[in-house]
Structure 1
Amino acid sequence: MAGNGVSGPVARDPKDLDDPDWAKDRMDFVADRDSALGPLAQQFVVLTTSLLTTHTAAGVLQELAMAAVRFLPGADMVSVTLRDADGRLHTPVSTDPLAVRLDEVQCESGRGPCATAVAPSGPAYSLSNDLASDNQWPEFAKASLDVGFHAVLSTAMMRDPQPPELSGAINVYSRRRRAFNAHDRDVMLLLASHGSLALATSRAITSAQLQAEHLHKAIDSRDVIGQAKGILMQRRKISADEAFDVLRETSQSLNVKLSELAETLAGRHLEID
């Protein structure tokens, strides 16, 4: 509105975009925007970039474990535990062997923060800030206290809807009582969501790579079988179907894969009568 004393942004002519002053203004704006992000937001930006460039499940899990150590001041060690479709727990990634041992205690007893969080009907997270006075998981609490850990926060990752429908949890252990607060819980819920999406993406990439590899192998096999059929058709003056029957019967009698037999014939047909 005119006369209010406030001037709006001035649009630049596209011809001015190469102007050095315009380039400097743009860089200053980007720098100001980035500096406005809080430290945690900046860490999540870095994490997201890392996850987007990580194409293996193992790499994603390792990134999540290291991020939890960075994000939570009370974190002394971290593990990532997966639950198979049949209910078995295993820990492929940890920052300390003790974390694996404590996860194994939960697997053996069937009780613990991680076992609770990854259960099909389990909560989004499971927390104990004082295992010495907490009676939720007696076997796990004793094992944790024996090695000096007094608090634990396990946060569930979203179940993968694709087979084998794995679920998992990020487990953060602390040697201090009351090490985790509501902010830590929210950070871990956000981290688990990021991790779930990245894990699903990495599995999709792996699946696509395997399918592409199988497709290439199938195409190669079809091509070499076609070559072998052509050789037999030319030498024996038989039809394509008859040539394929010869290959199939020979494959069965020699107990050799049809594609391998065809490859041998195509590669050494000058030596074979």
Structure 2
Amino acid sequence: MADERLWRRDKAEFGAGGDASAGPLSEQFVELTRLLLAASTPAQVLEQVIDAAYRVVPGADLVSVTLRSPDGTFHTPVSTGEVALELDEVQYRAGNGPCVDAADKGSPGYIRSEDLTAEKRWPDFSEAAVRRGYTAILSTVLVPDAKPPRLPGALNIYSRRPGALDSLAQDTALLLATHGSLALAGTAAVSRAELEAGHLRRAVESRDVIGQAKGILMQRRGLTADEAFDLLRRTSQDLNVKLAELARTLATRHTELDVP
């Protein structure tokens, strides 16, 4: 809890322009560099990048990565939440959106919208994001100098607060994307099969543990399956904890917890 309070304080100071050079934020960048240098696969690199973005980018509530296959199709191999997959897919189906625009060969390097409630560029995506409670997005190009069969992608950061993803968040995200791009260049070519296999394994594991947590809530609270899932989802959002992590805590420690 003490470490978490330090992180929240340091992240707030960073967002306000304070000097966090000696705090956990700068330490996270040092640790990220170490981890990226040690990463041997694209999947490991991307997991480290989204985890760091979630921790250090001011205003970040949800993070994902957009990549493209050799045929140009988009996919999201890693994310910090299932909602990111859904919102990314809205853009892929529509053929436009910040993720898609940032990964375009003519991209200026980043695409940002500080208030999706007033955004006119991507009506389908903006409506879906606002409906899910996300009102700002920042996408920065990933692997900008990619050569076939690797195509440019994007690091995508969603926020629930209009205006939270400002120029400071943009600079931090661009730095993270640069770290990630350099690390990816040092690994084997991005393999969609490898990334999707890893994502499938995580998806199955998450589904299983969420099912266990739902069963515990249904038994202890007399809830239906839908009601149990809604309770987990709301609690996950309120605590700013990934749904799968919350479910895993409940499933493994339910005898110690007094479920409200």
TM over 0.5: yes
Cα offsets for 1:7-39 (capped at 9, x unmatched): xxxxxxxxxxxxxxxxxxxxxxxxxxxx96565
Aligned equivalent of 2:113: 128
1:247-266 to 2 correspondences below 5 Å: none
Q: Does 1:147 align with 2:155?
A: no
Question: After TM superposition, where is structure 1 displaced by more than 3 Å over at least 4 residues in a row?
Answer: 35-41, 159-163
Cα offsets for 1:192-251 (capped at 9, x unmatched): 000001011112699xxxxxxxxxxxxxxxxxxxxxxxxxxxxxxxxxxxxxxxxxxxxx
* Secondary structure of the corresponding residue to residue 123 of structure 1: coil
Give the RMSD, CA atoms, in angstroms: 2.0
- Cα distance between partner residues in 2 of 1:133 and 1:45: 38
Paired letter, 2:107 = G
TM-score relative to the length of structure 2: 0.62
Match among 181, 197, 215 for residue 196 of structure 1: 181
Cα offsets for 1:20-65 (capped at 9, x unmatched): xxxxxxxxxxxxxxx9656543321110001111111011110011
Aligned residue pairs, count = 172
Aligned equivalent of 1:171: 156
Residue 167 of structure 1 deviates from its aligned partner by: 1.4
Higher relative contact order (CA 8 A, sep 6+): 2
Aligned equivalent of 2:81: 96
- Cα distance between partner residues in 1 of 2:189 and 2:126: 37
- Percent identical among aligned pairs is 49
Match among 44, 48, 68 for residue 83 of structure 1: 68
* Secondary structure of the corresponding residue to residue 118 of structure 2: coil
TM-score relative to the length of structure 1: 0.59
Paired letter, 1:128 = S
Task: Extract unaligned runs of 5+ from structure 1.
Answer: 1-34, 207-273
Residue 159 of structure 1 deviates from its aligned partner by: 3.2
- Cα distance between partner residues in 1 of 2:25 and 2:176: 11
Greater CA deviation, 39-48 or 130-139?
39-48
Task: Extract unaligned runs of 5+ from structure 2.
Answer: 1-19, 192-260
Q: Does 1:49 align with 2:34?
A: yes
Residues 72 and 151 in structure 2, CA contact (< 8 A), matched pair in contact too: no
Match among 79, 87, 93 for residue 108 of structure 1: 93
Residue 164 of structure 1 deviates from its aligned partner by: 1.0
* Secondary structure of the corresponding residue to residue 137 of structure 2: strand
- Cα distance between partner residues in 2 of 1:84 and 1:38: 39
Residues 160 and 200 in structure 1, CA contact (< 8 A), matched pair in contact too: no
Larger Rg: 1
* Secondary structure of the corresponding residue to residue 101 of structure 1: helix
